[in-house]
């Protein structure tokens, strides 16, 4: 079966008055259908840029991107909008709900652009809300009358209402306390069990632990879990070396720490006694 996501050698270079920013630098990633993938990385590493491209909200400057086997880099804006509306769902850190509209209206919103009849829209919204476990008593509340966790569940229901194949979530637990975040992650796992592909962005390893696989992004480049661990181990070893050198009165990293000076001249230069 073709993967849900197959992006290769993708670059995204932003062009501003200040110059060029290469936010993605040759990203290659494949996500199987039904897989739950976490993408981790520090602030500014390119996570949202990648998600915008994977979610067909933006296009790579170069590279190829096949979404469920279709080359989306070739599609028109209208066709991309159709792909988003029919195949993709989005969840954001800040919920992005209409505060004064009811829960039900918020969830029905993505269907406004489809040709679903009004009665069916309401039914679909009802179903989506039930699937994320929000009690019915809240469906006619305004969304600004809900708690953070309830708002995020409404946002997930909105992402599910068009029955998408792939759900993209950018820091969906970033504004939630640990217990509420866990509840939201359980909801994603449930969606995965129902066959959805999930791509979730987070900087929190505990959140990433809910996924089947984690990839890491740094300075616009992707790394596997193993590569990231090796990189961090190397970094820690270098830091330890520097600390050791400082403790010994050294002036640089461990690799610079000199052998005992063999001559009075070297002893003077290095400020340590000649042995």
Binds ligand ATP by CB under 6 A, chosen from 3, 11, 21, 109: 21
To ligand ATP, the closest distance from the beta carbon of 14 in angstroms equals 3
Residue 118 falls in which region: left (phi positive, over 0), alpha (psi -120 to 50) or beta: alpha
To ligand ATP, the closest distance from the beta carbon of 221 in angstroms equals 12
Q: Kindly tell me the burial class for residue 183, based on how many C-beta atoms sit within 10 Å of its own C-beta (0-12, 13-18, 19 or more).
A: middle
Which partner from the list ligand ATP, Mg ion, none does 41 bind, CB cut-off 5 to 8 Å by kind?
A: ligand ATP
Residue 48 binds to ligand ATP (criterion: CB under 6 A): yes
To ligand ATP, the closest distance from the beta carbon of 24 in angstroms equals 8
Which letter does DSSP use for residue 10 in this model? E
Give yes or no for a contact between 67 and 5, defined as CB atoms under 8 angstroms apart: yes
Which partner from the list ligand ATP, Mg ion, none does 181 bind, CB cut-off 5 to 8 Å by kind?
A: none
By CB under 6 A, the residues from 100 to 129 that bind ligand ATP are: none
Give yes or no for a contact between 261 and 272, defined as CB atoms under 8 angstroms apart: yes
Residue 41 binds to ligand ATP (criterion: CB under 6 A): yes
In sequence order, what DSSP letters do the residues of 22-81 get, joined into one string? EEEEEEEEEE-TT-EEEEE--TTSSHHHHHHHHTTSS--SEEEEEETTEEGGG--HHHHH
Q: What is the largest CA-CA distance in the chain?
A: 92
Part of the chain binding Mg ion (CB under 5 A), chosen from 13-21, 47-55, 206-214, 260-268: 47-55
**Contact string (CB under 5 A) for Mg ion, positions 65-104, x = contact:** ----------------------------------------
In the chain the first and final C-alpha atoms are separated, in Å, by 70
Give yes or no for a contact between 94 and 58, defined as CB atoms under 8 angstroms apart: no
Binds Mg ion by CB under 5 A, chosen from 45, 48, 93, 106: 48
Residue 46 binds to ligand ATP (criterion: CB under 6 A): yes
Residues that bind ligand ATP (CB under 6 A): 14, 16, 21, 23, 41, 43-49
């Amino acid at each position: 079966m073709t993967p849900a996501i197959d992006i290769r050698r993708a670059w995204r270079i932003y062009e501003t008055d200040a110059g060029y920013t290469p936010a993605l630098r040759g990203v290659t990633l494949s996500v199987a259908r039904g897989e739950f993938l976490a993408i981790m990385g520090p602030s500014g590493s390119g996570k949202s840029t990648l998600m915008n491209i994977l979610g067909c909200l933006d296009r790579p400057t170069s590279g190829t991107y096949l979404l469920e086997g279709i080359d989306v880099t070739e599609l028109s804006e209208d066709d991309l909008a159709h792909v988003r509306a029919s195949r993709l769902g989005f969840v954001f850190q800040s919920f992005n709900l209409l505060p004064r509209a009811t829960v039900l209206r918020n969830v029905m919103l993505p269907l406004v652009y489809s040709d679903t009849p009004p009665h069916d829209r309401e039914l679909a919204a009802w179903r989506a809300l039930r699937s994320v476990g929000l009690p019915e008593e809240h469906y006619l509340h305004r969304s600004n009358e809900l708690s953070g966790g309830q708002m995020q569940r409404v946002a997930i229901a909105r992402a599910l209402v068009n029955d998408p194949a792939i759900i993209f979530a950018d820091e969906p637990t970033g504004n939630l306390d640990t217990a509420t975040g866990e509840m939201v992650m359980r909801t994603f796992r449930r969606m995965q069990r129902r066959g959805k592909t999930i791509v979730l962005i987070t900087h929190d390893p505990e959140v990433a632990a809910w996924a089947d696989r984690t990839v890491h992004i740094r300075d616009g480049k992707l790394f596997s879990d193993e590569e990231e661990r090796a990189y961090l181990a190397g970094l820690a070893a270098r830091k330890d070396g520097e600390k050791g050198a400082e403790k010994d009165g050294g002036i640089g990293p461990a690799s610079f720490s000199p052998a005992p000076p063999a001559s009075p001249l070297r002893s003077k230069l290095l400020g340590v006694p000649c042995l």
